[in-house]
Structure 1
Amino acid sequence: MELIKTDIAIVGAGGAGLRTAIAVAESNPDLKVALISKVYPMRSHTCAAEGGAAGVIKSDDSLDLHFNDTVGGGDWLTDQDVVEYFVNEAPKELLQLEHWGCPWSREPNGSVGVRPFGGMKIKRTWFAADKSGFHILHTLFQTSLKYPSIERFDEFFSIDLLMADGRCQGVVAMEMKSGRLFRFQAKAVVLCSGGAGRMFPFSTNGAIKTGDGTAMAYRAGVPTKDMEFVQYHPTGLLATGILLTEGCRGEGGVLRNKDGYRYLQDYGMGPETPLGEPVLKTMELGPRDRLSQAFWHEQQKGNTIPTPWGDSTHLDMTHLGEKHIDERLPLVRDLSITYAGVDPVKEPVPIRPVVHYMMGGIHTNIDAETPVPGLFAVGECACASLNGANRLGSNSLTELLVFGKRAATNAVEFARNRNSEANESELQEQADKVQTKVRELVQRSGGAESIAGLRSEMTKSLEEGAGIYRTEETLQKTCNTIADLRKRYAGIELHDKSNVFNTDLFQALELENMLALAQTVAEGALARKESRGSHQRLDYEARDDEQYLKHTLAYYQGDEAPRIDYHDVVITKSKPGVRDYSGGAK
């Protein structure tokens, strides 16, 4: 096993990983950075984000308004010190991106353009047409190339963290093209590995989003936090799950049921207003959890449209006109034509809610630190408690930037204070265990289980039991199924026994990660006997601040179900109130 020594190892080279690496290199060019990614950086999932990034820039907006939208949107499960830091730093990071060359869309007077986004009561989302994540990722990647201290390890699959002397000291990863294992020894490790939406069958997430970093931290003793909060995006393209950005609704697109009726006015989103008005009532600009739940209710009433790929409603943008759509939503038009055979200029697009984002993740504080010294986490794999029970669209891209820089600052400080030598023998012993585990997995024979079969059962169970609406019965059934699947995982057999790009092996390792995390989702949801944000229970319909105004922590217990505990929510100035979206979005 080859040894690579570095100062800071970063797992994941998407928006969070690149921003972290740049911040380290800018402030401390003498520190070596190993940027480890299972895909080429420009294939990271940040590239798929379409709508934009939130930050206060206009004179009619304020930091307090952004704070209130985020806290209320998260149903008061956000840590308010984290939110306050975030809204203050957001404009600085977005301006920094502009200085690095991000081509934000402009107003006619040349100033940065902003568009409305769901759950935000005022326009504050910076955008680059409908390819915002693409341009942000390109900007960060190009900027990172300036720094020789950043060494990239593309297409390296991270398998496990290395722990010694009570702190994280590295990671074991496999080079995909050769099958060789590498021990990355580091003074600090930052996980930026993305979410785990592929646990569900219908998702906007790319195939790489399997929760690898979250599962590694979980096995290393770091609790996951708030994993029961899984966000459904209300406008996934039917059949494929491809995201149609919230920008569609920000630009004036509307949702209609089978009768052509704008049904959101029946679910506390405000009265219908004439199309084309410059200021619309909340309606389609309500938060994602509420819009997805409204679809479920329309489905129960028989108001959805049956199709071979399941029930749908319509996203109608025909009134916007071809010129406006081609200027502001060119990718959406292309995706709709290519994957649904529908031109949004001429007819409504069939859509349905689709799993989009994990509000939960690795337990971190405002400094991006985990409870394990030397281990930090940023982005969707982490839970600093910015998003609470429901993330507002366009906060996540900015979160990558704000907390990527924050993690870099604190990881550098930690690394510079490490004077003691690493425990080489203990680290090598752990690395050898990883090597043995991989070898045994590849060489196993006579297994009766298939990776595809177990994965299919997992995704179906989560969708049926821990979907948009949940009950004690459905959740308990899902908990039982996932526990059984984790036991049956020991019976899988790989068909590919080779070393070079063994995708069979990678999918097996990803499945192990997803099964562990799926259990935290189901068990956390079962224990939370209330409805809050994206976690909605038909048997406990009310929000219960007295019992559950707290974060769920899930602790790894080997083959057993996780131990569930709780952690206080930080409240500074906004007391829990009613989430009201019946007013206007300016």
Structure 2
Amino acid sequence: MTEIKKSLPRRRFDAVIVGAGGSGMRASLQLAEAGLNVAVLSKVFPTRSHTVAAQGGIGAALGNMNEDNWHYHFYDTIKGSDWLGDQDVIEFMCREAPKVVYELEHFGMPFDRNPDGTIYQRPFGGHTANYGEKAVQRACAAADRTGHAMLHTLYQRNVRAKTNFFVEWLALDLIRNEEGDVVGITALEMETGQVYILEAKVVMLATGGAGRIWAASTNAFINTGDGMGLAARAGIPLEDMEFWQFHPTGVAGAGVLLTEGCRGEGAILRNKDGERFMERYAPTYKDLAPRDFVSRCMDQEIKEGRGCGPNGDYVELDLTHLGADTIMKRLPSVYEIGINFANVDVTKQHIPVVPTIHYQMGGIPTNINGQVVVPKNGKPNEIVHGLYAIGECSCVSVHGANRLGTNSLLDLLVFGRAAGNHIVAADLKKQEFKPLPADAGEQTLARIAKLDNSSSGEYAQDVANDIRKTMQTYAGVFRNQELMDEGLRQMAQLTERANHIWLKDKSEIFNTARIEALEVANLIETANATMSSAAARKESRGAHSHDDHPHRDDDHWMKHTLWYSEGNRLDYKAVVMKPLTVESIPPKERTF
């Protein structure tokens, strides 16, 4: 079988984009409209990419509902990041925000409207006016289906621009030449089982997050860290992987997300006594404090015996006072989720919620143009030519240690567009394809041959489930050194087990067992990066809450973590404190 595949079929494109979510399709639109030959690979049909699950809104200081400007958004994002976000790229994102939202509106995005016809905006956690003095309405929303509306809008524009979609394809490995430039990828067509080499002048990773390394997750089953796996196996470090956001309101027992838009519209978290407990922890922001803070408060209520239910293991979200009309107009999906996943009518009953893993702040290190950067020759940010990364799989570091709600969809639009513009400006049509290395595709062939020749070993889903249990147990909302060190030992064993996957079904046509086995290789890289980075960071910052080191330590730890797969090695680089045009926001204690 491996002999048949020795000579892999090849196809050529100006650009290959891996992932058809919000960032991938925003970038592909720029390239296709510029006349470039673009291939977009996706494991699922584009409108089933995980961006479709985003509910609450897109953050932009339009000022439609009350006074707002990008300076306030800039401040909130830096404070939300617990001063680990890079201030130059944060300024860029906040200044570009109104532009990309209005552009999306002109593409046909069906935003909710105010009576005067302007885009409706709702409050969201951590978003304020006048540098933290009062809440502001900044989330541009399409009911509670904003990601759905956005993804369909971008897909329709891409069809119009004649983007080439390769649906149900799995990217396997990056191809780098002797100079370290990326010149293509290998990919598997699921329908046939055939592996291809896709040559490209530019490869862009837009594969989304890896929330499926956790047992309780709001993420789709496709979110297996494929972009991180491709980068790590190619020798590229992963940045700030210790920082994972637990969303406060996942449905207890199901993990399905209830948008922060619930609290933006006025929903309240209550403990078993019916108390609005967030007033004790955050007297100013209350239920609209940033997500990392609210999650820890909920966890503390449960641990101190004020949780709800027979086991006291969740708190409740109360929307009943909003009224059925507001809920059905502004939060229709939340009503449906309550019925389908909790057997609760949220117009009349409280719904049980627990903090649930939701978003990775870290990823593949990039610059403001989406180009992947690595430490090299004594410089911290040397460009890997031919490789871009955008969206949740990337770390341009606008989110730092904790992302503000609505900044994820904004990140996709701003940096998808920026990367697309940068590639268009490079005039790829005039560039030649760089020669493939002599061993192009051999790494992929060896991985597949190992699976095809296996006669015993581990079942892929057993290893995947044990990765999830380990991450859930040893790197949760609250962490300590003993837990994380044990997590490192467990991950070392799981890494060994992942090297001995047994593929029972050797067939080629739409073999989902083979897909799952290949995904485990990406899960293990992402989980190792997370556990190693977390165990090394001896402070509490943003989403990384370390019981043994409960305070932020700016003297020693205001720096980005870089994790290398080879040798499970860590390095660090400085946080960028200098914005592009305005004064820096100096670090201070976060209070709400």
TM-score, structure 2 as length reference:
0.93
Separation in structure 2 between the aligned mates of residue 312 and residue 359 of structure 1, nearest angstrom: 25
Paired position in structure 1 for 2:58: 53
Matched-pair contact (CA < 8 Å) for 1:374–1:414: no
Paired position in structure 1 for 2:546: 537
Paired position in structure 2 for 1:479: 488
Q: Which one is further off, 353-362 or 498-507?
A: 498-507
Paired position in structure 2 for 1:237: 251
Separation in structure 2 between the aligned mates of residue 102 and residue 170 of structure 1, nearest angstrom: 33
Matched-pair contact (CA < 8 Å) for 1:130–1:330: yes
- In the alignment, structure 1 segments of 5+ residues that lack a partner are 271-280, 582-586
Paired residue type of 1:40: F
Paired residue type of 1:51: G
Q: Verify: 1:525 aligned to 2:534, yes or no.
A: yes
Paired position in structure 1 for 2:187: 173
CA distance 1:33–1:484, shift in 2 (3 Å)? same
Paired position in structure 1 for 2:404: 392
Displacement after TM superposition at 1:401 (Å): 0.6
Separation in structure 2 between the aligned mates of residue 85 and residue 38 of structure 1, nearest angstrom: 31
Paired position in structure 2 for 1:341: 343
Q: Verify: 1:287 aligned to 2:290, yes or no.
A: yes
Displacement after TM superposition at 1:146 (Å): 1.3
Displacement after TM superposition at 1:419 (Å): 4.2
Paired residue type of 2:424: V
Separation in structure 2 between the aligned mates of residue 351 and residue 406 of structure 1, nearest angstrom: 37
Q: Which one is further off, 159-168 or 324-333?
A: 159-168
Among 541, 564, 588, which residue is 1:577 paired with?
588
Matched-pair contact (CA < 8 Å) for 1:8–1:415: no
Paired position in structure 1 for 2:23: 16
Q: How many residues align?
A: 560
- In the alignment, structure 2 segments of 5+ residues that lack a partner are 1-7, 129-135, 374-383, 579-583
Render the CA deviation track for 1:497-543: whole Å, top value 9, x for unaligned. 11111111111111111111111111111111000000000000010
Give the CA RMSD over aligned residues. 1.4
Among 214, 218, 238, which residue is 1:224 paired with?
238
Paired position in structure 2 for 1:76: 83
Displacement after TM superposition at 1:116 (Å): 0.4
Paired residue type of 1:291: V
TM-score, structure 1 as length reference:
0.94
Separation in structure 1 between the aligned mates of residue 200 and residue 423 of structure 2, nearest angstrom: 11
Matched-pair contact (CA < 8 Å) for 1:336–1:342: yes
Separation in structure 2 between the aligned mates of residue 40 and residue 307 of structure 1, nearest angstrom: 41
Matched-pair contact (CA < 8 Å) for 1:471–1:537: yes
Separation in structure 2 between the aligned mates of residue 113 and residue 508 of structure 1, nearest angstrom: 44
Among 43, 55, 65, which residue is 1:38 paired with?
43
Paired position in structure 2 for 1:273: none
Matched-pair contact (CA < 8 Å) for 2:31–2:424: yes
Separation in structure 1 between the aligned mates of residue 51 and residue 13 of structure 2, nearest angstrom: 26
Paired residue type of 1:144: N
Among 407, 420, 423, which residue is 2:435 paired with?
423
Displacement after TM superposition at 1:570 (Å): 0.6
Paired residue type of 2:453: Q
Displacement after TM superposition at 1:266 (Å): 2.1
Displacement after TM superposition at 1:25 (Å): 2.1
1:542-581 paired onto structure 2 within 5 Å: 542-557=551-566, 560=567, 562-572=568-578, 573-581=584-592
Paired residue type of 1:86: M
Matched-pair contact (CA < 8 Å) for 1:218–1:556: yes
Paired position in structure 2 for 1:438: 448
CA distance 1:33–1:421, shift in 2 (3 Å)? closer
Displacement after TM superposition at 1:311 (Å): 1.3
Q: Which one is further off, 499-508 or 429-438?
A: 429-438
Render the CA deviation track for 1:353-388: whole Å, top value 9, x for unaligned. 100000000011112111221101000000000000
Paired position in structure 2 for 1:215: 229
Instruction: Quote the sequence identity (%).
Output: 43
Matched-pair contact (CA < 8 Å) for 1:187–1:415: no
Paired position in structure 1 for 2:476: 467
Matched-pair contact (CA < 8 Å) for 2:30–2:424: no
Paired residue type of 2:525: A
Paired residue type of 2:436: E
1:119-158 paired onto structure 2 within 5 Å: 119-121=126-128, 122-148=136-162, 150-158=163-171
Render the CA deviation track for 1:325-363: whole Å, top value 9, x for unaligned. 000001100110111100000110011010000000001
Separation in structure 2 between the aligned mates of residue 265 and residue 158 of structure 1, nearest angstrom: 47
Separation in structure 1 between the aligned mates of residue 460 and residue 254 of structure 2, nearest angstrom: 22
Matched-pair contact (CA < 8 Å) for 1:189–1:411: no
